[in-house]
Amino acid sequence: MSAEVLSEEFEVLESIYPTELTKLSEREIRITIEPDDPVDGVEPLALALDVEYTDGYPDSLPNFSLEATEGELDEAEIKHLHDELQKVGEENLGMAMTFTLVTHLRERLSGLLREREERARQEEAEKERRAIEAEEARTRGTPVTVESFRSWKARFDKEMAEKRAREEEEKLKGMSPKEREEYKRMQTRLTGRQLFERDRTLGSEDENFNEEGAVSVDISQYDRNAQEEEENDEDRVTFSDSD
């Protein structure tokens, strides 16, 4: 390659890239490359392309190297871009190819920015999806089954029994011995209806599950038994006319 040919190419490149091109020597230049289409919200990218022209240029490839000057490009991305430049240069042997190499890099940087924008959008969408699922799971709670309900009911009944026992103990502490005896006697004289009403909640909740073998309870039987007990008590009462 004659110095005249190289000088002509330098002159053309300087007119196209007046601020981006730096002449490093008689045979070597550096061109700062930025993407054609910057993307808002994505970290900018920029490269430095160093080109060293060989004696056989343009019939042989120049030596070139790439360096990231802004943003992050890993080694794999740099190597991929370098391999693409090699291929583009081979397709343009016999012609001044520096402009073509720079154009390709500008387009590829734009493509990388769009890929990163799309990746960020997908990550944000996935993050939002997980947040929605977590909120739905929090508000939905655990589905209730017969087994889980029975387990919960057993724990609930135990807690309530312990609470009633503590309250009972505190109540008895404030009574005299006679009052405690009377209170205990009254507690043991629950009618059939009272017993039924006390456990009525459990019966209603079990029926909601529509289990086979459910027993139908006629509350009138409790009322009848209670009435009979009261009538029997009245029959046992005697009056004395001696007074």
pLDDT at residue 2, rounded to an integer: 60
Average pLDDT, the chain: 80
Instruction: Tell me: pLDDT of 214 over 50.
Output: no
Q: Which residues pair with 21 in a beta bridge?
A: 31
Cβ 48 vs Cβ 101: under 8 Å? no
Instruction: Tell me: pLDDT of 65 over 80.
Output: yes
- Tell me the C-alpha distance between 225 and 220, whole Å: 8
- Tell me the C-alpha distance between 69 and 78, whole Å: 12
Instruction: Tell me: pLDDT of 5 over 90.
Output: no
Instruction: Tell me: pLDDT of 102 over 70.
Output: yes
- Tell me the C-alpha distance between 148 and 241, whole Å: 64
- Span 219-242, average pLDDT: 50
- Span 63-91, average pLDDT: 94
Instruction: Tell me: pLDDT of 215 over 50.
Output: no
The more confident residue out of 159 and 179 is 159
The more confident residue out of 175 and 63 is 63
pLDDT at residue 175, rounded to an integer: 82
pLDDT at residue 186, rounded to an integer: 74
Query: To which CATH superfamily is domain 1-119 assigned?
Result: Ubiquitin Conjugating Enzyme (3.10.110.10)
Its pTM surpasses 0.95: no
Pairing mode, strands 46-52 and 28-33: antiparallel
pLDDT at residue 29, rounded to an integer: 95
The more confident residue out of 142 and 194 is 142
- Span 86-90, average pLDDT: 95
Instruction: Tell me: pLDDT of 243 over 90.
Output: no
